[in-house]
């Protein structure tokens, strides 16, 4: 037997380039005890297991795994899952993750979710003096923890350039990190336009109530099938 994995890229630029790959799996196809191992095998920065609805509905459950651990919330998995569900004709207005209910909004080709910064992991946030300094950082300097380096591109406009490294999650460098975008937005106390990784783009809007809208574009990549190791002969 094989398991279908639907792959999208989240937080692309307007031309559909870059973005962080996300593996999406029907939760009914994989037992909870086997999900972490499948996420490790797939080796995306995150893989989600979603209760796929049969029709449009208010909400559905999503579980999020990195190659090393399950997360209570993450940004690019929720944005990517919301876009995928809408495009298959089963849109939702919220995603239920262990951290809480994540409201979903779709406006044309942009998808956003509403979440709180304290749902995200803690990051060591380091401001560098220039964009060139951000681009020059060697991921090998980080052997543990979660690290976010950034510099202003245009402070008045709220534009920054960033990169993220998370060895503790099994991720040497993440292409686009919604959870870190929430943390830097709360840290700076303002809405931001973020360019991360090779050129992925994330937008945050800080509300007066502490909730943050996190959004961007999502591009379909492909569908792949992987063997279900639990169904293989011993």
N residues, the chain: 234
Residues 6+ apart with CB under 8 A from 98: 63, 70, 72, 73
185-195 as b/e, with b when 16 or more CB fall inside 10 Å?
bbebeeebebb
Cα 153 from Cα 172, distance rounded (Å): 24
Looking at 46, 173, 175, 195, which residue is catalytic? 46
Q: Which residue's entry shows tokens 């890229």?
A: 9
Does residue 122 have an active-site annotation?
no
E-assigned strand segments in 157-210: 159-166, 171-174, 192-196, 200-206
CA pseudo-torsion sign 99, 100, 106, 107: negative
- Structure tokens, 149: 């380096």
Upper half-sphere CA count for residue 56 (Cβ side, 13 Å): 7
Radius of gyration of the chain (CA): 17
Cα 118 from Cα 138, distance rounded (Å): 28
Residues with a catalytic annotation lie at 46
């Amino acid at each position: 037997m094989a398991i279908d994995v639907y792959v999208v890229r989240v937080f692309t630029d307007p031309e559909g380039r870059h973005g962080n790959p996300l593996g999406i799996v029907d939760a009914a196809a994989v037992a909870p005890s086997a999900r972490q191992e499948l996420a490790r095998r797939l080796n995306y920065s995150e893989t989600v297991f979603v209760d796929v609805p049969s029709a449009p509905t208010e909400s559905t459950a999503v579980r999020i795994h990195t190659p090393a651990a399950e997360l209570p919330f993450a940004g690019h998995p929720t944005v990517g899952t919301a876009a995928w569900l809408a495009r298959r004709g089963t849109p939702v207005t919220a995603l239920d993750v262990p951290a809480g209910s994540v409201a979903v909004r779709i406006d044309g080709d942009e998808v956003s979710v509403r979440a709180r910064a304290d749902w995200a992991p803690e990051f060591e946030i380091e401001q560098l003096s220039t964009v060139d300094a951000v681009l020059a950082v060697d991921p090998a300097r980080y052997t543990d923890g979660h690290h976010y380096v950034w510099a202003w591109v245009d402070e008045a406009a709220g534009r920054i350039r960033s990169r993220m490294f998370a060895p503790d999650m099994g991720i040497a460098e993440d292409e686009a990190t919604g959870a870190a975008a929430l943390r830097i937005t709360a840290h700076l106390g303002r809405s931001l336009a973020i360019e991360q990784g090779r050129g992925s783009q994330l937008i945050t809007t800080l509300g007066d109530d502490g909730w943050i809208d996190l959004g961007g574009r999502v591009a379909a990549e492909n569908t792949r099938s992987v063997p279900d190791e639990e169904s293989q002969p011993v």
